[in-house]
Structure 1
Amino acid sequence: MPTTPDMTTASDPGLLDSLQHQVAVFARRAEQTRLGGVGQVRNSMDRAAYLLLNRLDKEGPMGVKALAASMGIDSSTVTRQVAPLVDTGLVKRTSHPEDGRAVVLQLSPRGQARLDEVRSSRRELMAELTQDWDPVERESFCALLTRFNSALSARQTSQTAPGGEVPATPES
């Protein structure tokens, strides 16, 4: 039988305190790593940029509205986040093949190269950090983290997001 939040809190508040603390530490360390805090400047890429480039790479060229919907964020947020990516040549704006008035965003060759570099560096970092883990531990950690992110996403979906934003998806 699923446990309600009240039952879980009542049964082991110390474990939940530890969990929330470890999530906070993880968020801080992840941010430090993203900023090159472990000595790997090539890891450094803004989180929004990484997620947008990653989405365009996985799903292909698309309009702002489609990109916003697939990421679970507002179109105005995507427009604001894409602007510097266009300015730096990581994303290209092109005309829609069927409707020349519509704009389509796509990963540029420079954007693909930069995304590949960041992914490779981060993959190396993950290998380094989990080098003494066996494959089952890596798979379990990934599955649990995915489950945790999905639960966060489901919670956001059940609530009204501030500022009219669409609730985020697990990959956002």
Structure 2
Amino acid sequence: MENNTQYKNTTRVQLELELGQQLNALISASHALNVRTAVRFDSALQPAAFLIVRWLFSFGPTSATVLAESTAMDRSSVSRLVNHLKRLGYVKSEPSPSDRRGALLSLTELGLQKTTDALKEKEFIFYERTSKWDDYQLEKFIEMLRHFNGYE
């Protein structure tokens, strides 16, 4: 029985190492695509600014505090990048309906359009990789990612 347990533990360790390798490959590929997408959005911007744009595109209006926490950036960096994005006309700030002292940041129409255009390349690459999957495989992959990411 001990050999069987040891085999299972060894197999589990190997599987976890392989999972780590595949996650690293996904993160690296996604980062490279994010940098290329940021350049397509506006080649004069830092990729970190596009991270803010991408977050606002995905999750909608939010405060600078939530942006800082969600993007793992310090508040001063987020503030500097948001101010730059505002000057370029990609982001706007409006009073928060729930807290009149606070502000909600969101994308402008220009920001939305440029983000949509920039993401087409990134999405194409990922869609191309899943294009040969049937609906069941794609649904299962999405379900597993949602579960893995804690969005159940």
Aligned to 1:103: 103
When structure 1 is superposed on structure 2, of 79-88 and 68-77 the one drifting more is 68-77
Aligned to 1:30: 30
Structure 1 counterpart of 2:116, one-letter code: D
Q: How does 1:53-64 map to 2 (within 5 A)?
A: 53-56=57-60, 61-64=61-64
The CA deviation at 1:88 is 2.5
Change over 3 Å in CA distance of 1:130–1:98 after alignment to 2: closer
Q: Does 1:135 align with 2:135?
A: yes
CA distance in 2, matches of 1:49, 1:123: 16
One-letter amino acid of the structure 2 residue matched with residue 34 of structure 1:
N
> Which SS does the other structure have where 2:149 is aligned?
helix
Counterpart CA distance in 1 for 2:51 and 2:68 is 18
Aligned partners of 1:43 and 1:118 also within 8 Å:
yes
Percent identity over the alignment is: 22
User: 5+ unaligned residues in a row in structure 1: which ranges?
Assistant: 1-7, 151-169
Question: What letter corresponds to residue 52 of structure 1 in structure 2?
Answer: L
**Pairwise CA RMSD of aligned residues?**
3.6
Equivalent position SS for 1:122:
helix
Find out whether 1:47 has 2:47 as its counterpart. no
Which ranges of structure 2 fall in alignment gaps of 5 or more residues? 1-7
Q: Matched residue pairs, number?
A: 137
CA distance in 1, matches of 2:84, 2:94: 16
Relative to the length of structure 1, the TM-score reads 0.60
AA matched with 1:47: L
State the secondary structure of the residue aligned to 2:89: coil
Contact kept in structure 1, 2:63 and 2:103, CA below 8 Å: yes
Structure 1 residue 113: Cα displacement:
0.6
**Using a 3 Å threshold, how does the CA distance of structure 1 residues 48 and 97 change in structure 2: closer, same or farther?**
closer
Distance 2:132 2:98 in 1: 52
Quote the offset at 1:101 in angstroms: 5.0
Aligned residue for 1:91? 91
The one-letter amino acid paired with 1:88 is L
Query: For the Cα contact (< 8 Å) 1:96–1:103, is it kept in 2?
Result: yes
Question: Partners in 1 of 2:149 and 2:98 — Cα distance?
Answer: 37
Q: Partners of 1:85 and 1:74 in 2: how far apart?
A: 16
Is the contact made by 2:41 and 2:115 (CA closer than 8 Å) also made in structure 1?
A: no
Q: CA deviation at 1:53?
A: 3.1
Distance 1:85 1:9 in 2: 50
**Structure-2 residue corresponding to 1:113:** 113
